[in-house]
Structure 1
């Protein structure tokens, strides 16, 4: 597989995982590794469904207290139809028993926050705020939003 094919495959999977169109940030070694290896290879491996991968990722980011990353995963899971509000709340209840109240309640609050934001946007007749999601992801990889680059 050519370098261009690997990059295209990685970006396509990254877009599927996050539920929005991710820009290709060239020249950032961390972003390159993320797109080419994590999304081009690991997220494309057979054996687990997208839903199973999403639950595992959500569990991992919750376990390390990264509610910012949990928010991205919750939003994408809802957007892609992999998990609904009720299922995500059950995940929070379940994880609280293993991770403790502070981390579990953090996820529970994130689930409610995302669900409420999505409901309000729908009531206003707005689509998904993809620019905000892209900016959050870009900031994670480069430390700067698209507007700051």
Structure 2
């Protein structure tokens, strides 16, 4: 029996997708915010056909950089690296693109996160 078997189908799919995207096990939680996150964002949006997880993650990383969302980037960059969606060279190339399109300070912060992620992954 699986960890989420006693949950409604949509919540189970959402939590399983969250685990895959984040790279760690999520616990079920209460509240409307978590319901929309698990049941809609991950069960529906992240699971739609047309883009794979890597494509969605690349888009998300770009958007997070433009918003200075270092907290969420610190989850997404290591998760992408751990999942094998982005390797060392690709992460470093993202930094160069971000520097030129989102600004050097944003790229510098991302570079620190990327290099830390790579160092921890070795």
TM-score w.r.t. structure 1 length?
A: 0.74
Residue number in structure 2 paired with 1:8: 12
Aligned pair count reads 116
Query: Residue 28 of structure 2: which of 8, 11, 24 is its match?
Result: 24
- Distance of 2:56 and 2:63 partners within structure 1: 11
Structure 2 gaps, min length 5: 1-6
Q: How is 1:34-113 mapped onto 2 (pairs within 5 angstroms)?
A: 34-113=37-116
State the Cα RMSD in Å: 1.2
Runs of 4+ off more than 2 Å? none
Q: For residue 118 of structure 1, report the CA deviation from its aligned partner.
A: 2.6
